[in-house]
Amino acid sequence: MGLFGSKKAKEAAADTAVEERLSDGTVVRVTRRIDCIGDSCPRPQLMTKKAVGEARPGDVIEVLVDNPSSVEALPPMCDELDATHLETAKAAHCWRVFIRKD
């Protein structure tokens, strides 16, 4: 099993996109959800980089992480990925990081 193989089944497909409301009231359509719960660095960063690379401009990716280092590393990564960090929201068991492909 490769570096990206074990969580593939947990990624949401584009046809299952859902709308989410950010804290500022903006509604975004999440086209892909990456579940990195239980993963440590650098896996969440690598999975995010892969997802953003495969996304179309305007697509919003939600990354679920429970590793504090990854939460801090994802937003600064957006500049090099031609993406925008929209928000990081604390959920009950993880953080939800919303990233839009530019």
pLDDT at 17: 82
pLDDT at 7: 47
Q: What is the pTM of this model?
A: 0.86
Tens digit of each residue's pLDDT (9 = 90 or more) over 1-23:
455 554 443 455 545 689 999 99
Tens digit of each residue's pLDDT (9 = 90 or more) over 27-65:
999 999 999 999 999 999 999 999 999 999 999 999 999
- Cβ contacts of 77-82, under 8 Å, gap ≥ 24: 77/45, 77/48, 77/49, 81/48, 81/49, 81/52, 81/53, 82/52
Fold adopted by 8-101? Translation Initiation Factor IF3 (3.30.110)
